[in-house]
A and B are shown apart, each in its own frame.
Chain A
Amino acid sequence: MRESKGSAKIRWFWIWVTASLIFRLILIYFPKSLNLSSRPEVSTPLTSIRRLAEGYWLKQSSLSPYAGSMYHGSPLLLTLLGPLTVRRVEGQPDHLLCSLVLVIADVVTAMLIRAAGQSLKMSSSSSLKSVGLHHVLEYSEVLPSGDIAALVYLWNPFTVVACVGLSTSAIENLMIVLSLYGGCTRQAPLAAFGWVMATHLSLYPAILIIPVVLLFGYGPDAPPRKLLRQRTKFDNSSSIDNSSVEKDVKNQLRELNFSWKPVLHFLFWILLWSSYVLVLCGIYARQHGGLKELFRRTYGFILTIPDLSPNIGVLWYFFAEVFDFFRNFFLIVFHGNVLLMIVPLALRLNHRPCFLAFVYTVVACMLKSYPSVGDSALYLGILGLFAYELSDMKFSFFLFCGYVGVSLLSPVMHNLWIWRGTGNANFYFATAIAYACLQLILVVESVSAILNHDRMLTKLTGAKLQDVKA
């Protein structure tokens, strides 16, 4: 009965995946009236496919692709997607090949999320077993969080819009999820490749090195380590002669201490991949000013925010009115805001590295210089991995309605401001502020829900120990 139910579930999963693929293909063939690739929520100066096509054309005309401040992305992406923007198929929509690449990237990301979810589930079930909370295990096993997360990622309107709107954030999301998957399954080359490419494409995933290092050091998400230590002490003191218990003890001991060998392995692969990428970029940029110019145009653009065209973030409005004298100061403040969040969260959530990665992604998406809906597509997908732990999250309905409201109102306000002229920048910025507030509430509530879940586990373990002792 259980097996057929399981296989039925798997069949339904693949049906939904195929349906999302077909849905994307239908939307790609939709007439251009949707005009998604020109919406500021979808395409930012960093992710727009038109800028990539312009950069490719500049390169073909023997100019630097960064001339004229159009393209600010990675040269490797230009080599990959550039020729596809030019090649046209008869009778098909423009950029068809690019959209197919992005659709494939989306599907692969979903598969990786599912695999990461399955590995997370396995590790969490083994850690729950070792703590002795078997009834909790039963509840959590009913929920296939990997499948749920993958389907949430595929069917999220934000992801669909980002894919059909030809935003290159699909590839960045793929790299981030690849690094998380590599961390969960302890595959250092994959994780290092994902992290290096994600940092290379957009600067902010650099902060994800901490969760990935914690994944390699401690293993995937587990209850707080003091619970495991208590259990170990208890098992040792009760001295039950059982080979399976000894094996569990050994496993626990392994997870309790930070293991340096996988981390060093991971760091070695990071060095390898990053030097490879730097060499390739150096060769590419040789005629156009070298690596220094390349970094100035890509990372310098992200950090100094020269382009103040409106997007769904909050920095453009602020930097449009700040005085030049204070501009550097506020740049440091805004970027430092991201950096300041890293250490406290890492200290508090170091037993749950995947959740830490999720929190970092939300924080980066809130405070990054050019956010788009593709970034929120990523963290909403990863959110699904913690469906069981976050089932008691407060304000979930409010957040859902808020997201729907903002995603509907934001294009309206943009239209009112730019095209009709009956609104002004404040209308659009109001929806951007509301969006930032929603993300803030999401991150605060999810962190508190996880901590509540941990407290509940501690209480249950304590009660169980009391029971056993008594």
Chain B
Amino acid sequence: MLLLLCLGNIGNSVAHLSSSSESTLHTNNWAVLVCTSRFWFNYRHMANTLSLYRTVKRLGIPDERIILMLADDMACNARNKYPAQVFNNENHKLNLYGDNVEVDYRGYEVTVENFLRVLTGRHEAAVPRSKRLLSDEGSHILLYMTGHGGDEFLKFQDSEELQSHDLADAVKQMKEKRRFKELLIMVDTCQASTLFSQLHSPGVLAIGSSMKGENSYSHHLDPDVGVSVVDRFTYYTLAFFEKLNMYDNASLSSFFNSFNPNLLMSTAYYRMDLYQRRLEEVPVTNFFGSVMETLHTDSAYKSHRSIDIGEAKIKKRTDQSISGSDRRILRNMNNKDQVSNLSTEENSQDSFGQLWNSVLSKVTTTENVDEFVCHGLLLMLSLLVASTWLSH
């Protein structure tokens, strides 16, 4: 989890947040990305989901907090001319599949039942932790679904359907069990906004790619791969997000308003009546990334290392410097772990070993062990020459 230091306006929104009806703090972000379509000609649904996966990872959500459900395997499909590669654009610039993709539910595991189990958390005992949505009351969850849909339904695997009241029911259960603080549902199917028409739980925001009676269209066909590679709604979503990085604070309203109905060939309808906050104040990284707020405590950390004094000093220094710039400063906590490891090793040895270790560590550091050994070798050779010459 990245700990970042805040800006002034985020501090304002913190104040705003604490005055909202939810008294819990936002502590973590989750993403549930679902592709429900099977078969090669639905390549674009896979590419949609993988594009969102890549965006969400890039902006900071780690694999442990992403549930990726892909109903079919396009990357290693026998009809894929580019094996192990999935593209979302004709120019093949981005390989979405890459070498760092963690799929949690694959193939026939993507069913309505599993989807609802993920949302509500009612799994069988043997389901591993990586397949569970382990969110709590401080979580912001992004739920993205893509595939073929229609009026009040979403088709799973070409054999079953998820209906809008099923989804609303599941979200209501989640709210009862306090499994989320805020939920953003994004749906990219035909007649997408009908899918969340039955929702009535507070703290839920939803956007769909098209309204009732409209179709959602694919963006372009890739003549090389042979199928359409991305849908319009997701394409323009990515166009918005590719310009961002972790440190930007573009708001959700700018995101929602970035969709042009002429380009989408449908109306991107969003529903914010269940959501208390104003969209202009919510940064997109609240759902799509993993940017947290830090709370300073004045009490000391419990530790026996002198480096903590250094850390406290760093904190004080950065406190003074926030007021100036608009940027967030990143701090790395790794060096503390390394020092603690080394010192535990030292404590476990006897006094002679400690003395020897201290002498050696003074003489050599990690980098110049090689040089030291090299010099040792040269010294040995010169000793040899000297001793040979002397013994003559």
B374 nearest CB neighbor, chain A only: A79
Given A62-B366, A283-B360, A283-B364, CB of A193 within 8 Å of CB of B384: yes
B376 at the interface (CB under 8 A from A): yes
Contact, CB under 8 Å: B391 / A283: no
Q: Chain A residues near B364 (CB, 8 Å)?
A: 283
Contact, CB under 8 Å: B377 / A80: yes
Contact, CB under 8 Å: A188 / B374: no
If over half of A's interface residues share one DSSP class (helix, strand or loop), that class is named, otherwise mixed; here it is: helix
- Cα A79 to Cα B377 with chains together (Å): 9
A286 nearest CB neighbor, chain B only: B360
A276 at the interface (CB under 8 A from B): yes
A381 at the interface (CB under 8 A from B): no
Per-residue contact bits, chain B 166-206, to A (CB 8 Å; 1 contact, 0 not): 00000000000000000000000000000000000000000
B372 at the interface (CB under 8 A from A): yes
Q: Chain B residues near A190 (CB, 8 Å)?
A: 384, 388
Contact, CB under 8 Å: A79 / B370: yes
Contact, CB under 8 Å: A59 / B388: no
Q: Tell which of A76, A80, A189, A283 touches B369, judged by Cβ atoms closer than 8 Å.
A: A283
Q: Chain A residues near B374 (CB, 8 Å)?
A: 79-80
Q: Chain B residues near A76 (CB, 8 Å)?
A: 373, 377
Q: Chain A residues near B384 (CB, 8 Å)?
A: 189-190, 193
B369-388 contacts to A (CB < 8 Å): 369-370, 372-374, 376-377, 380, 384, 387-388
Contact, CB under 8 Å: B370 / A188: no
Q: Chain A residues near B376 (CB, 8 Å)?
A: 276, 280, 283
Q: Chain A residues near B366 (CB, 8 Å)?
A: 62, 287
- Cα A280 to Cα B374 with chains together (Å): 9
Please list 27 pairs of residues, one from A and one from B, whose beta carbons are closer than 8 Å in the complex, sorted by A's number: A59-B370, A76-B373, A76-B377, A79-B370, A79-B373, A79-B377, A80-B377, A187-B388, A187-B391, A187-B392, A189-B387, A189-B391, A190-B384, A190-B388, A193-B380, A269-B387, A273-B380, A280-B373, A280-B376, A280-B380, A283-B369, A283-B373, A283-B376, A284-B369, A284-B373, A286-B369, A287-B369
Given A273-B380, A280-B376, A287-B369; 12 other pairs, CB 8 A cutoff: A76-B377, A79-B373, A80-B377, A187-B392, A189-B387, A190-B388, A193-B380, A276-B376, A276-B380, A280-B377, A283-B376, A286-B369
How many positions in chain B have a CB within 8 Å of any CB in the partner chain?
16
- Cα A277 to Cα B381 with chains together (Å): 12
- Shortest CB distance A318–B (Å): 37
Q: Chain B residues near A269 (CB, 8 Å)?
A: 387
Contact, CB under 8 Å: A189 / B380: no
**Which are the 5 A-B pairs with shortest beta-carbon distances?**
A189-B387, A280-B376, A79-B373, A284-B373, A193-B384
Q: Chain B residues near A62 (CB, 8 Å)?
A: 366
- Cα A175 to Cα B37 with chains together (Å): 69
A219 at the interface (CB under 8 A from B): no
A258-283 contacts to B (CB < 8 Å): 269, 273, 276-277, 280, 283
